[in-house]
Amino acid sequence: MQSRRNLLLTAFLAASLLVCGATYQLALRRALADQQGQGAAQLQIVALDLESILQKYETLPFALGFQADVRQVLADPGDAAAVDRLNRAFKIIQQQSRAVHIFMLDAGGMTLASSNWDEEFSFVGRDFGFRPYFREAIQGRAGRFYGIGNISSEPGYFIAQPIYRRPDQAPSTPSAPPIGVVVVKVDLAEFEHTWRSSEAPIALTDGGGVVFLSNRQQWKYHSLDQLSGTQQRELEGTHQYADLPITPVAALPATLREGFGPHVARPVTQLGWQLRLFPSQARMMRSATLATLAAALCMLALGISLLAWYQHRSRMQERRQSRAALQRAALELDQKIALRTQELTAANQAIAARFEKLQQTESLLRTTQNELVQAGKLAMLGQMAAGVTHELNQPLAAIRAFADNSVKFLARGQTEQVAENLEHISSASANMGKIIGQLKGFARKSGGQVAQVELPHAIEAAVLLLARDIEQQGATVTREVRHCAHILGDAVRIEQVLVNLLRNALDAVEEAPVKQVRVLLDIEHGQAVLRIRDSGGGISDEVAPHLFEPFFTTKAGSRGLGLGLAISSSIVQAMNGQLSAHNHEQGGAEFVLRLPLLQAPGP
Ligand code: ADP
């Protein structure tokens, strides 16, 4: 991005330089063309001006040829009076016409009369036969010439006209050559002054390209080009420029030839003169520089506009990109949200399905539990029925046997045996009554009132009921009440459970060296916990699985019916409690009774 920008900047700078360079060249060319156009116009004015000045004097020598004394003096140069009159007339006319000099030459080029006859450098008696204007005029043509006077050393324009013997003779009649020549010298310095205001150099050159009038004084009497040998010799012959060495302007020192170069030229007069104007190069360069500056400013404005446009475009592009990125991000977010929503919905559905399954499982569990309870009850009932049948069958069979025997003994009259059998029958039926009594206790759901039961009192009541047995056995029953726990239940049934557990403990310690039973009441995990631990032999692995089964007993004879723990467990379960048993780590069995608390326990 950066390098591209640098490349563009470099290209733009190069283009700007090219444009400026081209503008400079074009403007220079244009300025040159303008200057040339203006110069040509200016030259036209100058040329007209010059030609009108020269025209003014053109006819003066011709008119002077008609002076009364002209022919007299030419006929008799020794006529001093005539010469004097002519000299004075020439002076007056010279002063009036503002010519520099007016003088007359004879056919040999000798000056016979002159307007400066009375001055130091009088022309009178001077020979100007070598001058081209004389040579032209004596051949019957008007002589025109610009040169530096070899007497006065002043430059001037010479106009010469031939004089014929007869004033009315037509010029250039071959039969009668001119007898003399009248010459008027005009000063063009005043005309030259009018060029001073021009910034551009103006030069008037002769047919040979020698500058003789110019607003650059240092160029005067220097040629535009190197003069040829012929031209040099010609100048020497005519003394046109007082034998000054004519060198090219281009050979002058740089400061002196300043402004010399391409120019516009216009011919003036029929003498091969050329008016030349050198357009001001400084001005051309100024206007070219101004045009270049304008171009540079335009390029700068263009550059700034391009930069602004480029920045605007980059900003727009960045904005577009960020908008697109935002849209992409929003789209991605939408997609993610949709995906997450889908996942969540799926998870929700899965949870709902699982919840439903759980509910189904729970209800199934409940059903199963109920069924199990029911099955358990039925199983227990079956067991009990089997037990009852078994327990009752024996005495019943004995009773029948004794009764049958009694009938036989009666028939034989053996009354003593009958009485003995009846005693056996009575004992067996008592035994049966005992079993039925026990079963009644088991079958009866609740005989007493459900009320608040203070467990410490229940413990004391149970211990009191067994006080005789304890004493007979020589056992000790210690009680420890860590928390006075209250429960809701039937106090008689609770005592029945406690009596069962304590009796079993006493049975267990009967043969033990130490006969110790410990009762501990506490509260654990918001439940009343009653532990009855004995110092007996503990519960063997064979016995443990059948502890709470009805009619399971290890006790011999009529000492045990095997219903105590089964009934106790049933009572405790009816109170939402739990009865469990295990061997204590320090020996002996420990039965744990857990019951829900009624209220916050006292200490
Ligand atoms: P029973 O006392 O008539 O035998 P139980 O249901 O009360 O009937 O007891 C069943 C059996 O549990 C007992 O025969 C005995 O083997 C065992 N048992 C009960 N309590 C204890 C105990 N404290 N120590 C060891 N065994 C016990």
Contact 577, 593 (CB under 8 A): yes
Give the chain's mean pLDDT.
86
SS3 204: strand
* HSE-CB for 356 with a 13 A CA cutoff: 6
| Cα dihedral 346, 347, 349, 355 in deg (nearest 10) | 160
Question: Residue 534: enclosing H or E segment and its boundaries?
Answer: strand 527-534
Identity of the amino acid at 355 = F
pLDDT of residue 559: 75
- DSSP-derived secondary structure letter, 158: E
* pLDDT higher than threshold 50 for residue 603: no
Pocket probe for ligand 1: among 469, 499, 565, the residue whose CB has the most ligand atoms within 8 Å is 565
Instruction: Count the residues in the chain.
Output: 603
The Å distance, Cα 582 to ligand 1 centre, comes to 12
pLDDT of residue 602: 46
Question: Residue 332: enclosing H or E segment and its boundaries?
Answer: helix 281-412
551 lines ligand 1 (CB under 6 A): no
Please, which residues have CB within 8 angstroms of residue 167's CB and are 6 or more apart in sequence?
Answer: 65, 66, 71
Atom of ligand 1 nearest to the CA of 559: 3
The Å distance, Cα 535 to ligand 1 centre, comes to 14
From residue 224, alpha-carbon distances to 209, 228, 239, 460, 553 in Å are 6, 12, 19, 160, 161
pLDDT in tens, 372-392: 555 555 555 666 666 667 667
Residue nearest to atom 23 of ligand 1 (CA): 505
Least confident span in 169-178, 478-487, 573-582: 169-178
The first and second tokens of residue 120, run together, are 């130091």
| Cα dihedral 117, 122, 126, 129 in deg (nearest 10) | -90
* HSE-CB for 554 with a 13 A CA cutoff: 14
For the chain, domains (ranges, CATH) are 57-187 (3.30.450.20), 191-279 (3.30.450.20), 447-603 (3.30.565.10)
510 lines ligand 1 (CB under 6 A): no
Q: Is 312 exposed, middle or buried (0-12, 13-18, 19+ CB in 10 A)?
A: exposed
Pocket probe for ligand 1: among 434, 500, 507, the residue whose CB has the most ligand atoms within 8 Å is 507
508 lines ligand 1 (CB under 6 A): yes
Atom of ligand 1 nearest to the CA of 501: 20
pLDDT in tens, 130-181: 888 999 999 988 898 888 887 778 889 999 999 998 777 655 555 678 999 9
* pLDDT higher than threshold 90 for residue 56: no
Diameter of the chain measured on Cα atoms: 248
Separation CA 235–CA 291 (nearest Å): 47
SS3 591: strand
195 lines ligand 1 (CB under 6 A): no
Bridge partners for 579 per DSSP: 593
The Å distance, Cα 148 to ligand 1 centre, comes to 175
Question: Which contacts (CB < 8 Å, 24+ apart) does range 558-562 have?
Answer: 558/431, 558/434, 559/507, 560/507, 561/391, 561/434, 561/435, 561/438, 562/387
